[in-house]
Amino acid sequence: MMTVAYYRNSISKEKQKLSIIMQRDHVHQLAQNKRLLIDAEYSDDETSARKTETNERKQMTKLLREIEKGNVKTLLVYSRCRIARNVHQYMKIYRTFKEHDIEVIFAAEHEFPMIYTIEGEFIERIMAAFNQHEAENLVKKLRDAKLTKARKGLHAVASITFGYEANSEVDGDWKIVEEEAETIRKIYRLFLEGEFKSFNQLVKVVNEQGFLFKGKEWLYGNVRNLFKNKIYIGFREYKDKEELISVSVPHLQIIDHNTWEQAQIRMQQYSREIIEEEEPMSFLLKDLIECFECKQKVKGKKIKRMGTTIGVYQCENCKIVKFGKDILEQEVINQANKFFNEILSPMFKNFLSRVVDEQASIHKKLEQKLDRVGARLKDEIAQELDILLEIDDVSDLPETVIKLHQELEKVVGSFNSMKDKWFETIETLKELNTFHDDFQESIQIIEAEMEETVIKELLEDIIQGIYAMSQNEVQIIFKHPHIEGVGGREIIEFA
C-alpha cells in the first residue's frame, strides 16, 4: 500500500508562483522526518476548492479512486483547506478516508492530527466550516481591496487596456503608450470621417489600413471598446455586483470630449447591430442542472423559434432533455421559496434547538476526554521528575519525555482550537435562532423584482443540485444554507 501526497492551489502560477512549490517542499520535509517514501503525487493546479466540485478536480478524483481500490495507506497534505473549502465536499472526502482508515498527516504546524471517532468527525466538521467561512471572507477581502483601488482611480481588475502600460512609479496606475494612443486617435478620425454600411465594415477597413492591436488584427469587440471605454476621455470606471465607481483620471485622457460625443452620436447608427451583439441572456440555473442519464451539465442556450429568440436548458448529449428557460426557472424559484419557508417553520426551530443540545453534549464529552488525556500525559511527565531535575540542558532530555511533551502540546492545541471553533458554532446557531424568530409568517424570499445576480446567489445557497430525469421530470435537491446535512427533495413534472 502506498504513501501519497496531494497538493492544490487556487489561482494561476503567475499570481501564486510559490504555492505548489511551497506545499511540496513542506510535504517532502515531513516525509523525510517521518522516514516515509512518497510513492505518488497528485496536484490540482489552479483549482478552486470553493467553486469546483470534487468530481471536477481530476487529481483528487484519481486519488480517491486509488483509496477506494485499497491502494493507499498514508496521505501527506499541507493543510485541511487544500483538501476542500466546502463543508459538504470536505466531509464526504473525510468519510472516504475514514472508511478506508487512511492515515492523514499534515505538514503545516498549525494543523492537528485527523482522527476517526464521533468526536473527531465533529471537530472535522467545525474545521471544515471554518475553512469555508475563511474562503468566503477571503473573497470579500479581495472585493474590498478592488473597491479601494477603484475609488483611488487605480487599476482594480482585468488586463491593461490598449493605449496604456503599467506605471512603475505608482502601483496600480497606468501611463499612456503614445504609439498606441496615436492609433486610437486615427481610428476615431476614420470612424467620424468615413461612411460605413455596418460596424463590421469599419473593423474590416481598420485592418485593411494596417492598424494593429497588440501586434494582431483588430476584432469587432476590440474596436467597439474604443468607443465604449471612458478611460479614453479620462474616466476610470469599475463595476461589480453592487456598485459602479467612476473616478476622473485626466492624465490618462487620449480623446477629447467633443470627439468622444461625436463618436457616441455616430454609434447610434449601429445601435441595433451592437445591441444584438451585446445583449446576453442570463441563465439563473447555470451550473446547477445535470443530466441524470449521462451525468453532463445541462447548458443554457439561445434558440430561434418563429423569429423570436428564446432560452432553453438542453443536454448536449441527450438532445431529448430540453426545458424552456422561463418555465423551469419559475418552477425552481417556487420550490425554493417553499423550502425557505419550511426551514423557517417552528418545527425547524425545534430541530435547531435539538442540534445545539446534541452538539453541546458531544462537545462536553470531548472536552472531558481531552482533559483526561492531558492529565494522563502530565502525570507521565511528572513521573520522570527525578530525571528532569538532573538535566542541565534541554538537549539532554530523554526521547520518552520529549515525545510525551509533544503529545501534550498537540492535545492542548486541539483542546484550544476546539473551544474556539465551538464558540464560533454556538454564535452561528444563535444568529440562526434569531433569524428564525424574525420570520413568523410565510414569506417570499425570492421575488420577481430582485436583481438576477441576487436570485442566482440565493438559489446557489440552497440548491445542491438539479437533475433532469427525463424530458418531463426534474428533481431538485435542496440543502440548508448554514447547516450541512439538512435538506430536502422536490420533483417538478411537466405535462
* Residue that is last in its domain, among 413, 438, 463: 438
CA atoms within 13 A on the CB side of 101: 2
Q: Do residues 137 and 169 both lie within one domain?
A: no
Q: How confident is the model at residue 470 (pLDDT cuts 50, 70, 90)?
A: confident
Instruction: Report pLDDT digits (tens) over 113-151.
Output: 888 887 777 778 777 776 666 655 555 666 667 777 778
* Rounded Cα gap, residues 210 and 223, in angstroms: 14
Tell me the CA distances in angstroms from 476 to 249, 298, 311, 320, 334, one per residue in order.
49, 14, 20, 19, 12
Residue 125 lies in a domain: yes
* Residue that is last in its domain, among 418, 438, 458: 438
Q: Do residues 119 and 166 both lie within one domain?
A: no
Q: Do residues 216 and 137 both lie within one domain?
A: no
Tell me, what amino acid is at 74?
T
Residue 305 lies in a domain: no
Per-residue model confidence (pLDDT) at position 311: 86
Instruction: Report pLDDT digits (tens) over 52-83.
Output: 677 778 889 999 999 999 999 999 999 888 88
* Residue that is last in its domain, among 116, 148, 180: 148
Q: What is the CATH number of the domain that holds 272?
A: 3.90.1750.20
Q: Cα–Cα–Cα angle for 75, 76, 81, nearest 5°?
A: 100
Instruction: Tell me if 71 sits within 8 A of 63, measured CB to CB.
Output: no
Q: Please tell me the total count of domains within the chain.
A: 3
Instruction: Tell me if 337 sits within 8 A of 442, measured CB to CB.
Output: no
Tell me, what amino acid is at 137?
N
Residue 333 lies in a domain: no
CB atoms within 10 A of CB 187: 22
Q: What share of the chain is helix, strand, coil (3-state, %, to 5)?
A: 55, 15, 30
Q: Do residues 239 and 181 both lie within one domain?
A: yes
Q: Do residues 115 and 163 both lie within one domain?
A: no
* Rounded Cα gap, residues 29 and 252, in angstroms: 50
Residue 324 lies in a domain: no
* Rounded Cα gap, residues 183 and 254, in angstroms: 10
Q: Do residues 134 and 30 both lie within one domain?
A: yes
Instruction: Report pLDDT digits (tens) over 216-246.
Output: 899 888 888 899 899 999 998 887 666 788 8
- What are the φ/ψ torsions at residue 3 (nearest 5 degrees)? -105, 125
* Rounded Cα gap, residues 476 and 332, in angstroms: 8
Q: Which domain holds residue 189?
A: 152-278
Residue 269, pLDDT above cutoff 90? no
Per-residue model confidence (pLDDT) at position 158: 66
Q: Do residues 109 and 216 both lie within one domain?
A: no
Q: Do residues 264 and 350 both lie within one domain?
A: no
Q: Per DSSP, what are the bridge partners of residue 468? A: 291, 474
Tell me the CA distances in angstroms from 55 to 89, 218, 340, 369, 481, one per residue in order.
10, 39, 28, 37, 22
Instruction: Tell me if 442 sits within 8 A of 450, measured CB to CB.
Output: no
Show Cβ contacts of residue 492 under 8 Å, excluding neighbours closer than 6 positions. 328, 331, 332, 335, 473, 474, 475, 476
Q: Do residues 25 and 137 both lie within one domain?
A: yes
Per-residue model confidence (pLDDT) at position 15: 41
C-alpha cell at 485: 446535512
Instruction: Tell me if 192 sits within 8 A of 266, measured CB to CB.
Output: yes
Q: Do residues 143 and 176 both lie within one domain?
A: no
Q: How confident is the model at residue 90 (pLDDT cuts 50, 70, 90)?
A: confident
279 Cα distance to chain centroid:
27
Residue 286 lies in a domain: no
Per-residue model confidence (pLDDT) at position 134: 60
C-alpha cell at 16: 501564486
Residue 296 lies in a domain: no
The number of residues making up the chain comes to 495
Instruction: Tell me if 101 sits within 8 A of 116, measured CB to CB.
Output: yes
Q: How confident is the model at residue 172 (pLDDT cuts 50, 70, 90)?
A: confident
Residue 370 lies in a domain: yes
Tell me the CA distances in angstroms from 194 to 232, 270, 415, one per residue in order.
21, 14, 76
Q: Do residues 133 and 203 both lie within one domain?
A: no
Residue 294 lies in a domain: no
Q: Do residues 166 and 140 both lie within one domain?
A: no
Query: Of the spans 153-162, 171-180, 466-475, which averages the highest pLDDT?
Result: 171-180
Tell me the CA distances in angstroms from 244 to 233, 235, 278, 449, 473, one per residue in order.
17, 12, 19, 20, 41
Instruction: Report pLDDT digits (tens) over 312-344.
Output: 888 888 767 778 888 888 888 888 888 776 666
Q: How confident is the model at residue 18 (pLDDT cuts 50, 70, 90)?
A: very low
* Rounded Cα gap, residues 248 and 152, in angstroms: 9
